[in-house]
Amino acid sequence: MQKRLWYKAKTYGLGWYPVTWQGWACTLGYVVFVVLVAFDVDSKVHTVPETLVRFFLLIVPATVVLCVIAYYTGEKPAWRWKGEIQSLRNKK
């Protein structure tokens, strides 16, 4: 039995886009998390450098988690351009 993909590879470039409700739920959860973190950090911190550090300390791990979910539930990532599929490993 073939597993159902949550994310499909983009036609051009590198990355995925959601195609099932599970993929959309993960993506929406990520967007909501980013917005909540932005409002929370903005309300508690008053200097720009500290705001950026706190924001990125929370957003980078969340982005990594979303990419790992897309990697395991989506198509194999490869650089796609003009209909050609070039594996990143084979590119010199």
In tens, the pLDDT along 13-39 reads: 888 999 999 999 999 999 999 999 988
pLDDT at 9 over 90: no
88 pLDDT higher than 70: no
Domain boundaries, the chain: 19-74
> Cα dist. 17→13, 25, 41, 45, 49 in Å?
12, 12, 28, 33, 32
Helix or strand or coil: residue 81? strand
How do residues 47-84 score in pLDDT, each as one tens digit?
A: 888 888 888 999 999 999 999 999 999 988 888 776 55
> So what's the pLDDT on residue 26?
96
Pick the closest to residue 13 from 83, 89, 66 (CA basis).
83
